[in-house]
């Protein structure tokens, strides 16, 4: 299980101001993770930690409140070539 800590405050050089103002800055096992909300249906997640889409989906899924989790969609986009991989988790599968 990861140790996750929310970064509270508006001045932390590890994160963009937009992420700090959206309260989307976290440290997971000491590694910065930035969640930038881009719409009411999605967020862009950036981190220096190498991670597969499957591992990210699993970590997010396990962190959700069990009473509220129904489904999760993760799209991993390779910024170098634009290719993507999708992962879908569903409570009822």
pLDDT tens digits for range 54-89 = 998 898 888 888 888 899 999 988 888 999 999 999
Tell me, what DSSP letter sits at residue 2? -
Output helix, strand, coil percentages for the chain, rounded to the nearest 5: 15, 40, 45
C-beta separation of 76 from 84 below 8 A: yes
Place of tokens 């976290």: 26
Check whether residue 93 and residue 72 sit in a common domain: yes
Provide the number of structural domains found in the chain: 2
Domain extent, residue 65, equals 51-93
Check whether residue 24 and residue 64 sit in a common domain: no
pLDDT reading at 1 higher than 70: no
Q: In the structure encoding, which two tokens stand for residue 92, read together?
A: 């009822």
SS3 state of residue 59: helix
pLDDT reading at 21 higher than 90: yes
- Tell me whether strands 25-28 and 31-39 are parallel, antiparallel or unpaired: antiparallel
Check whether residue 66 and residue 39 sit in a common domain: no
């Amino acid at each position: 299980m990861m140790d996750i800590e929310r970064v509270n405050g508006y001045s932390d050089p590890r994160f963009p101001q937009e992420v700090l103002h959206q309260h989307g800055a976290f440290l997971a096992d000491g590694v910065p993770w930035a969640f930038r909300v881009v719409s009411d249906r999605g967020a862009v997640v950036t981190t220096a930690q190498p991670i597969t889409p499957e591992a990210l989906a699993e970590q997010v899924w396990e962190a959700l409140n069990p009473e509220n989790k129904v489904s999760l969609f993760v799209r991993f986009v390779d910024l170098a070539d634009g290719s993507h991989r999708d992962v879908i988790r569903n409570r009822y599968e």
